[in-house]
Structure formats: structure tokens, C-alpha cells
Amino acid sequence: MVRLELGREIPDKLGSVHFIGVGGSGMSGIARVLAERGLRVSGSDRFASEVTESLQGSGITVFVGHDPGHLGAATTVVISSAVREDNPELVEARARGLQVLHRSEALRWIIRGKRVLAVAGSHGKTTSTAMLATALDRSGRPIGAVNGGVVSEWGVSSRWGVDELFVIEADESDRSFVDYQPAVAMVTNIAPDHLDFYGTLEAIYDSFEEFARSATETVVLCADDEGTRHLATRLGDDVTTLTYGTDPQADVVQTDLGAGPLATFTVTYQGISARCELGVPGRLNALNATGVIASLVASGYALEDAARAASGFRGADRRFQFHGEIAGVRFYDDHAHHPTEVAAALETARAVVGEGSVITMFQPHLYSRTQYMASELAEAFSAGSDHTIFLDIFGSREDPIEGVTTDLILQRMAPGVSYDFEPDWDRACDLAVARAKPGDIVLTMSTGDLYQIVPQLLAAKQRSVEASGG
């Protein structure tokens, strides 16, 4: 994997830009904005996807597979930390002496001269970034944004904007977020993740502290999270902070929560209260929205205006995303892969399902994460899912680790808990459809490629209804 060199000076001109791995969640958004800025942009990825098709529809040339010839007349090549040094396109770029930028450096090029609002955190940052961007948009500001997931209201993950404000998701996975120097930095939570990169929780805290200290105005912290409370103690009085959450000691306090079917709550700041109603369910969505409101307040908005702007948020794709209802069975998809995210998604599902059952299909992500967190994943599914269908690990950027399989999770499931292991997608789909009854939820869960099974699930359920004469 490519190791990022932090703090490098960004070139004034990029020329023609080629992205290696353009279909990635962060890479695609940056590529789209550069194209909107008028640059000639191309890219390649291992497989075609909805993302690459969308980019092609925006006028970006996308190649499937990696070949040195794909570079064409590019003068700048953009990579992510997931790209391997022996990638043939990267080897060719280095041999030709082209500018090679990390995706975070390309993002820094985009946000030059902007007043940046950055959202970071181990979990919830994509949803919170989408909330913040759409809230500003709803308030009438032509802001730009680069998110790590599709903003449902926009149908894309990014856009250029002429406003001075620019919203970004600040990804901590490779420590690149310490270079952005935002005006306002929001941190949703801090948990042990990406340990394959960091090694220790202390190293994670060090990076979040560096990110927070890079903010030029205010750091917005969740008072409900142990990790961000610890970060606050590390920052001390050196940094201006604004806290949010259900904790009565927070600066922006959330009360009167109704978690579903749509989340509603009250926020109070300096003796003034306002009501907010989202277009999505769940306690965690409400907490993230409270953080967005706090970030807007830190940016200069009145509380009532901030709550009004945050109201109506309709979600980010692959964040408890509704895909359809057939014969009383509702189908959702979520990108959850860390135990904390899994537990939160299952909590939201429970708030929505009522008296029905939650049937989950889970594809573990990364061998290292499964190795580190098998017990926590088993605990989350044992507590929150009525029946779980486990699939094989999606290795993504990693090579297999000997002895690390989905069975590490299965061995730790609580006694008597209902689950199956079925690596074959067709049979896994049949298991889910056969079990689901009216009133139930089928929830696919993965940050890998399991989302691609959703149309198959819907089609299988429709066939079963027709076969039964329903």
C-alpha cells in the first residue's frame, strides 16, 4: 500500500488528471468536483459499478481494469492509500515523472481559499457530512461539498460551490485528515478502528488531537461519547470547543427524542430552544443532527435557523437506506462494518420494525478487522438481530490472514441466538426471503459489495409472492 507523505506543498496547477481507483467513495467525489472545475479528468477501477457509470455520465472517462495506457496525456495522477505500489498505472506514472498526489492532497487543492467545515469521527461522519451540506444548501447557500457517500437529496457525493463555505468528510483511516486545517471541525466519536494502520488506540487519539488542533475557529465535540470527552481533556483550554449531545452539561443539549418512524427532538443552546424533525429514523441520526446544528451555530447561525436547516434530512445512500416493501417486508441496506456501527444500525432497525423481526445479512469487512473485533461483532448481532445470515469476509485492500474467517464471529455468538452461515449469495438470498414475514425488515449490512444483492432480494421476494398467488 502507498504511504502518505503529510504536509507536502500542493501544486498550483494539476493539468489533466487521472485517478487510479476512481470508483472509491472518496476518490469519485474528488474526481467529480475537479471535472466541474473544468479540468480534464479520467480514471480507472478494477470493476464497473454504479459509481463509475455515474462518473461516465458526468463526462469523465473511466476505464475498467488497470493498464499503463490508461494514463494517456495525464499530467497528474491521484491515488488513495489502498493503491499498491506495483499497480501498473502508478508504476508508469512514476517512470514518466508525473505529479502523483494522494486523494487528500487533491482535496486540499479543491478547498484552497475556502472556509472549510470538516466532519470527522470513527462512525457517523458520512451521514453528518451529508446533513451539514444539505442543511447549508437548504438555508440558501450555494456551498460545495465532498462526502464519502452519496447525499440522497443530491444523487451524488460531491459538488463544486461558489460560496465561501465548503463541507468535507475528513477521513481518519490513513491520518490524512490532519492536513486540512478547517475553520470548524466536528468530531462525532472516537473508537478503536483502522488498527491495521494505527496499531494502538493512543495513536488514534494522537491523530484526532492533531486534527482538532488544526481547526482555526471551533472544534465541535460530542459530549455523549467517551472518546471525544477524552479528546476534550487533551485539548484543554488551548482550543475553542462547542459540545453537543443529550448530556445536560453539553453546550447544545438534545431532549425530547422521538426515534421513529422519523426522528424528532428539541435542541437548546444558551437558554433558547428549537425543534427539529428529520426525514430519517433513529437515535443516532438525531445525535448526529444535533452535532450538525452545533456546527452551524459555530459557523455563525442562530439556533432556530440551524435547527430549521437541519430538518427534513433524507439520508445518505447506504446509511439505513430504504429500497422497497413487498408483501409487508421492508428491505434496507447499511454500510455498517464496525461493531459500534452494527449496533447503531440494528438499534435503528428495531425502532422502525415495531413488532416485526430484524433479519440481517452481514458481510464482514477486512481480515484484520474481523481478527481484532470478532467478539464485539458477535455481541452486536447476538443482541440486536433476530436472525443473521453471515457471508464470507470481503478482503478489500487486504490479503487473507491465515485462520481468519467468518467462523471467528460465529464461534462467539451467544448461545441460542439464531443465525446461518451461507457464503453462496444465491442461497443466502433464498434463506432471507424464506424467513421474512409481513412486518419484518431484511437489512443487508456491509461496506463491501453485498449491497449489490439488494435487487436480487427484491426480485426473489416478488417471485415468491407471485408463486403463492399473493
Does 468 or 304 have the greater pLDDT score?
A: 304
pLDDT for 317 equals: 64
Question: Residue 96 CB: number of other CB atoms within 10 A?
Answer: 12
Active site residues: 125-126, 169
pLDDT for 47 equals: 85
339 upstream amide cis, omega within 30 of 0: no
Question: pLDDT (tens digit, 9 = 90+) per residue, 375-399?
Answer: 999 999 999 999 999 999 998 777 8
pLDDT at 1 over 70: no
Structural domain boundaries of the chain? 17-107, 113-310, 321-467
45 by DSSP, 3-state: which?
A: strand
The gap from C-alpha 416 to its chain's centroid, in whole angstroms, comes to 33
pLDDT for 372 equals: 87
Strand partners of residue 100: 77
Cα separation, 268 vs 244, whole angstroms: 10
pLDDT at 189 over 90: yes
Question: Given pLDDT bands bounded at 50, 70 and 90, which one contains residue 153?
Answer: confident
pLDDT for 2 equals: 64
Into which CATH architecture does domain 321-467 fall? Alpha-Beta Complex (3.90)
Average pLDDT of the residues in 112-126: 94
Residue 82 cell numbers, joined: 489502498
Best CA proximity match to 456, nearest among 435, 432, 440: 432
Query: Would you identify the CATH topology of the domain 113-310?
Result: UDP-N-acetylmuramoyl-L-alanine:D-glutamate ligase (3.40.1190)
Best CA proximity match to 444, nearest among 346, 315, 313: 346
Q: How far is CA 218 from CA 134, 186, 187, 331, 427, in A?
A: 21, 8, 11, 40, 51
Q: How far is CA 288 from CA 130, 131, 327, 374, 432, in A?
A: 10, 8, 33, 27, 31
pLDDT for 451 equals: 85
pLDDT at 36 over 90: yes
Cα separation, 80 vs 230, whole angstroms: 30
350 by DSSP, 3-state: which?
A: helix
Question: Given pLDDT bands bounded at 50, 70 and 90, which one contains residue 173?
Answer: confident
Cα separation, 417 vs 385, whole angstroms: 9
Into which CATH architecture does domain 17-107 fall? 3-Layer(aba) Sandwich (3.40)
Residue 463 cell numbers, joined: 417471485
Residue 170 backbone zone (phi > 0: left; psi -120 to 50: alpha; other: beta): beta
